[in-house]
């Protein structure tokens, strides 16, 4: 072991802290990491939170590391997504106290992923010699489990640390490796900085070089154009109706809502494409087919425009879909494929039917659309469509490529009031635009509607909780970013290969030392 690393092993020890203070530090690290995400966007906090957690893990036995990782996760989710209780309280018919208890239970369960990382990291580091290998191990496991959290059992990828870097130099890695690749660069940076702070000796230049490469290459790649224009630009209008969720499904408000959307749309028939939010039409499509959809379709066609609107569909096969329907050209529909568990569908429905009836969550019995490419022809170009929560899954959004000339996400975040959910969701959408190298047109009910540029920047934005029509010209694009080609499997392969190299190297070293003579 190099002399500098030996002095580090002797000097770094958090054992002087009591168990209470260690757990409190872990919780605080997770809670403070929320400041790295929108709307605060203090992205260095993400690096600092990992440095503190990794420091705690370095001298922790497995179950200690599990508790510290778990408390980190509770801090992250307890502060970062506690807004979930708003929809459960107001629309789940359970009361404020029970809504908070349900949300806390969800937080505690999601935090187990970080507990598992801590336990496995502490277990595996026992096989490794030297701080460098241990810190690299922590970084690889961190990213692997963030990906697992976004995939396992339908996935919950919210607050993956890579999203917090959308405005940092590390965002340049997103078109290559996606949000989890950005997370890897972030965790490796934390490992290198921790090593610099605590290790003396010849290893310091290598850590400095690693930081220079990670941040320098990321900064160099920031703003690089991975895609090219195809065809003429199109004019787009995004209608933000600002209909309160509590009033939206009141039957007495149906026609006032439809008239409002129609009036705002008629002022912009000169646009090539007009987009309404998710379920902007507060009825099943068949209920308003002849009275509303067909007249709007005729108007769109007469004005040479395309209207994309959100409406629920109840098809003859008995299935119920959350859909986006394109009117003006040949009518077509995209039906949401990735549904929200317990919000849009109930897992194990036969067993949980009493819970469904008790919660009385509106629109909670959808069917999933088919798995074909999520494309619709809009204003003469193929567009990749996602509805609300679907844009949190980068690997699913890129299935629309290379055909899609731009992306559309229709959402309704009114479920979560004036909370962190709104800017966090916009941040996620920005990452999708950056990963794909496409414009992303985001239409929401109460905000935040936006037109997001291919570099993840915001080209235009609507105010929150105001009725608004957002207008802009958008350039259709073609081409594939490396991430659009590889998807998440590239970063998963990198992390697994790195773990294999680390552990196999230590195994070979152990066998060599054990060999007689």
Instruction: Write out the DSSP string of 460-488.
Output: EEPPTTS-EEEEEEE--EE---HHHHHTT
- Between the two ends of the chain, the Cα-to-Cα distance in Å is 22
Residue 393 has pLDDT above 70, yes or no: yes
Stretch 431-453: mean pLDDT:
97
What is the per-residue pLDDT across 259-272, written as a single tens digit (0 to 9) for each? 999 999 999 999 99
146 catalytically annotated: no
Indicate which residue of 5, 68, 146, 278 is catalytic.
Answer: 278
Q: Give the pLDDT band of residue 112 (cuts 50, 70, 90).
A: very high
The string of DSSP codes covering 49-65 is HHHHHHHHHHT--HHHH
Cα–Cα distance measured from residue 9 to residue 401, given in angstroms and rounded to the nearest whole number: 49
pLDDT at position 5 over 60: no
β-bridge partners, 379: none
| Chain segment 170-219, per-residue pLDDT in tens | 999 999 999 999 999 999 999 999 999 887 767 788 899 999 999 999 99
Q: How confident is the model at residue 79 (pLDDT cuts 50, 70, 90)?
A: very high
Mean pLDDT (whole number) for 454-483 = 97
Quickly count: other Cβ atoms within 10 Å of residue 273's Cβ. Answer: 25
Please state the φ and ψ torsions of residue 155, each to the nearest 5 degrees.
Answer: 90, 145
Write down the catalytic residue from 5, 248, 297, 336: 336
Q: Given this model, what pLDDT does residue 96 score?
A: 85
Pick the CATH number of 235-485 from 3.40.50.300, 3.60.110.10, 3.40.50.720, 3.40.50.150: 3.60.110.10
Q: Is the pLDDT of residue 470 over 60?
A: yes
Residue 388 is among the residues annotated as catalytic for this protein: yes
* Cβ-Cβ contacts under 8 Å for 437 (sequence gap 6 or more): 175, 225, 226, 227, 454, 477, 479, 480, 481, 484
Report the distance separating Cα 161 and Cα 489, nearest Å: 18
In this prediction, residues 122-142 reach a mean pLDDT of: 89
Domain ranges, ordered by start, for the chain = 3-224+487-514, 235-485
- Contact (CB, 8 A) for 471 and 268: yes
Of 146, 297, 388, 427, the active-site residue reads 388
Handedness of CA 174, 178, 179, 185 (dihedral sign): negative
Residue 336 known to be catalytic: yes
Determine which of 31-35, 73-77, 124-128, 400-404 has the lowest per-residue pLDDT on average: 124-128
Residues 143-160: what's their mean pLDDT?
Answer: 94
Q: What is the structure's pLDDT at 16?
A: 58
pLDDT score of 350: 57
Long-range pairs for 84-89: beta carbons < 8 A, 24 or more residues apart: 84/416, 84/421, 86/415, 86/416, 86/417, 86/419, 87/343, 87/415, 87/416
The candidate with the shortest Cα–Cα distance to 196, out of 12, 399, 53, is 12
CA distance 132 to 191: 8
Q: Which of these ranges, 55-69, 78-92, 388-402, has the smallest mean pLDDT?
A: 78-92
User: Is the CA virtual torsion 179, 184, 190, 192 positive or negative?
Assistant: negative
Q: Say what the pLDDT of residue 59 is.
A: 81
User: Rounded to two decimals, what is the model's pTM?
Assistant: 0.92
- What pLDDT is attached to residue 424? 97
pLDDT in tens, 42-69: 999 999 999 999 999 998 999 999 999 9
Residue where the block lists tokens 């990906």 = 147
Instruction: Give me the pLDDT at residue 72, please.
Output: 98
Q: Is residue 65 a contact partner of residue 118, using CB atoms and an 8 Å limit?
A: yes
pLDDT for the residue 494: 94
**Burial class for 56, CB neighbours closer than 10 Å (0-12, 13-18, 19+):** buried
């Amino acid at each position: 072991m190099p002399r500098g690393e030996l002095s580090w092993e002797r000097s770094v020890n958090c054992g002087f802290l009591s168990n209470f203070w260690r757990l409190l530090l872990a919780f605080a690290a997770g809670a403070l990491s929320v400041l790295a995400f929108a709307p605060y966007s203090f992205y260095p906090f993400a690096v600092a939170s990992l440095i503190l957690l990794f420091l705690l893990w370095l001298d922790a036995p497995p179950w200690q590391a599990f508790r510290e990782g778990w408390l980190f996760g509770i801090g992250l989710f307890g502060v970062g997504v506690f807004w979930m209780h708003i929809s459960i309280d107001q629309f789940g018919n359970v009361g404020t106290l029970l809504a908070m208890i349900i949300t806390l239970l969800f937080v505690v369960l999601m935090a187990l992923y970080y507990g598992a990382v801590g336990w496995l990291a502490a277990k595996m580091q026992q096989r490794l010699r030297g701080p460098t290998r241990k810190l690299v191990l922590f970084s690889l496991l961190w990213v692997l489990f963030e990906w697992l959290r976004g995939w396992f059992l339908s996935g919950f990828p919210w607050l993956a640390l890579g999203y917090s870097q959308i405005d940092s130099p590390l965002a340049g890695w997103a078109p290559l490796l996606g949000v989890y690749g950005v997370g890897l660069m972030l965790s490796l940076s934390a490992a290198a900085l921790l090593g610099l702070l605590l290790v003396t000796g010849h290893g310091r230049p290598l850590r400095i070089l690693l930081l220079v490469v990670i941040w320098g290459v990321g900064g160099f790649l920031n703003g690089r154009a991975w895609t090219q224009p195809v065809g003429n630009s199109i004019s787009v209008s995004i209608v933000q109706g600002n209909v309160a969720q509590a009033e939206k499904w009141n039957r007495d408000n149906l026609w006032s809502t439809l008239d409002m959307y129609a009036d705002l749309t008629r002022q912009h028939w000169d646009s090539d494409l007009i987009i309404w939010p998710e379920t902007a039409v507060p009825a099943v499509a068949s209920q308003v087919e002849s009275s509303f959809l067909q007249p709007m379709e005729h108007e769109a066609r007469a004005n040479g425009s395309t209207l994309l609107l959100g409406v629920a569909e109840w098809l003859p096969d008995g299935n119920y879909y959350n859909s986006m329907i394109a009117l003006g050209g040949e009518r077509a529909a995209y039906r949401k494929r990735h549904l929200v568990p317990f919000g849009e569908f109930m897992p194990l429905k036969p067993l949980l039917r009493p819970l469904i009836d008790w919660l009385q969550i509106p629109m909670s019995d959808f069917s999933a659309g088919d798995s074909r490419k999520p494309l619709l022809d809009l204003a003469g170009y193929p567009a990749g469509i996602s509805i609300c929560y679907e844009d949190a899954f980068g690997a699913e959004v890129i299935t629309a490529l290379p055909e899609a000339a731009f992306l559309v996400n229709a959402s309704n975040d009114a479920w979560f009031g004036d909370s962190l959910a709104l800017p966090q969701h916009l941040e996620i959408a920005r990452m999708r635009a950056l990963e794909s190298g496409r414009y992303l047109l985001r239409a929401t009910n109460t905000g935040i509607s936006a037109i997001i540029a291919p570099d993840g920047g915001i080209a235009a934005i609507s105010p929150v909780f105001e009725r608004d029509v957002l207008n802009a010209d958008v350039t259709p694009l073609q081409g594939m970013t490396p991430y659009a080609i590889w998807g998440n499997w590239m970063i998963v392969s990198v992390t697994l290969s790195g773990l294999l190299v680390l552990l196999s190297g230590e195994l070979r070293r152990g066998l060599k030392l054990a060999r007689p003579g």
